Amino acid sequence: MPASAYPIPHTLLSLPRFARMVGIAPLHFAGATAASINPAVFPTGSACGDVWPRYDWQKSDQVSHEGLAYAIKDAEECLAREVGYFAAPTWIAGEQAMYPRDYYRENIYHVHDVQAFSKGINAKYGRIISGGQRAVTLLDTPRITYTDEDTDGLYETATITVLGVTATTDACECKVYFQGMGGVEDWEVRPARSKTLVAGTLTIVMDSWLLIDPDLLAVYPTDDGFQAIDVSTTVNFVANVDVYYEYNDTSDASAVFAWQQGTPGCTCSSCAGVGCAACSDTEQDGCIQVRDPKAGIVSPVPAAYSDGSWSVSAFDICRAPDKVTLYYYAGDQSNEYLRGTSCDPLSDLWAWCIIWIAIARLERPPCSCNRLKNMFDYLREDLSHSLPGSSYFSADDVRTNPFGTHRGEYQAWKRVKHHVGRRLSVAVI
């Protein structure tokens, strides 16, 4: 029965990287097998040969890609709340903050601090790289070339080539997405084995099983149970992909100021205040100046964009704004990424913390493989439990762990707690 795939949440730690770091066979993790090849590549007959489903409802007794993605995303957000910044760069959109007020009420018209600079605001997250919003530009929809480089019968390599790339000189900014999805992050195909951009020719090489048709992975289970995708041939791979240039668009407003109208308690009989000029905020676009990127202190200023740059202007309303909405790009970056030796900005330090927390919170087992099952059971053990014949002495740092009391959560906290507090919390007026 045909089915249409729906997206899996985008995470800073890609699912294939999770599988590689914990030691899951990549073909099985991708939901596939190559049963027609003799001798079989990545055989499924062994105890560690279980094939992973895309969704929880396809295989009720095993964790799926979707369930794992939600656990990883939850772990990433928990880490960001504790340390004050995301483990890798991400776009923060629509973050609202009250505009700083002076102590003296009569200073309602003041929009500068005591040094005559624009007032600063503590953004929710630190490690700010730049103000701006996520944007993508379609480069091409090339046809993929699949090759069997070691002549074992499995076409394990996918090569994507795009000619005439002029939008960027950084190959890492060129991303692969499933065709027709508009470059939405949830549909990105990653990671790539390599990306090169020479004289306008972009070449991306990746594992072929990352390009299995998502609609085939979303098939409904039948009386025969969950069925793996056969990749003995290339017919189950997608033929084309969309390649986008992904970038931080600084031409869009990174700050939007808002003033409340001066008619308190107004209501409209026809729309209860929604869409009525008297009851809506007055807004003005602007940009942010990053005052302290590590601590996440920014100075939003009113400005207009023209001819490739922002020009500071005066406020439209002759008093300080009531609130400001921020758009910015922020997160930690690995040394490998900064040196240009990797396109993945997520460091192994943060990747392992995310893995430990995510596994600790998963409810379903990974597969029947004893090695992997033992790892999951070890990290999911609750260090605060007290049962007949089994109990733990819980130290204070276990009971007060903000992540939880499971071993994986505690293991992550032992590493993360040294980073908590490194982002300064400064009150700026």
Q: What pLDDT, in 10s, does the model give residues 89-143?
A: 999 999 999 988 776 665 555 666 656 578 889 999 999 999 999 999 999 999 9
User: CA 248 to CA 333: how far, in whole Å?
Assistant: 15
Residue 302: per-residue pLDDT: 94
How would residue 1 be classed by pLDDT, with cut points 50, 70 and 90? Answer: very low
DSSP type of residue 22: H
DSSP type of residue 105: G
Two tokens, residue 43: 């055989």
In a domain, 177, yes or no: no
Q: Summarize pLDDT for 364-382 with one digit per residue, the tens.
A: 888 878 888 899 999 999 8
Residue 40: per-residue pLDDT: 74
Q: Which residues are within 8 A (CB) of 84 and not within 5 positions of it... i.e. 6 or more apart?
A: 125, 126, 296, 420, 422, 423, 425
In a domain, 315, yes or no: yes
Return the closest-CA partner of residue 131 out of 242, 238, 307, 285: 285
Reply yes or no on whether the pLDDT at 343 is more than 50: yes
Of 389 and 397, the structure prediction assigns the larger pLDDT to 397
Q: Summarize pLDDT for 243-253 with one digit per residue, the tens.
A: 999 999 999 99
Mean pLDDT of the chain: 88
In a domain, 273, yes or no: yes
For residue 300, is the peptide bond before it cis, meaning its omega torsion is within 30 degrees of 0?
no
In a domain, 280, yes or no: yes
How would residue 424 be classed by pLDDT, with cut points 50, 70 and 90? Answer: very low
Residue 189: per-residue pLDDT: 98
Q: Summarize pLDDT for 251-289 with one digit per residue, the tens.
A: 999 999 999 876 554 555 555 555 566 677 899 999 999
Are the CB atoms for 177 and 138 separated by under 8 Å? no
In a domain, 361, yes or no: no
Are the CB atoms for 269 and 278 separated by under 8 Å? no
In a domain, 294, yes or no: yes
Mean pLDDT of 344-362: 97
Residue type, position 154, single letter: L
pTM: 0.90
Return the closest-CA partner of residue 93 out of 135, 132, 137, 136: 132
Number of domains observed in the structure of the chain:
1
Return the closest-CA partner of residue 57 out of 296, 227, 218: 218
Return the closest-CA partner of residue 287 out of 315, 311, 260, 307: 311
Residue 428: per-residue pLDDT: 44
Domain that residue 294 falls in: 90-132+250-330
Mean pLDDT of 2-28: 92
In a domain, 26, yes or no: no
In a domain, 276, yes or no: yes
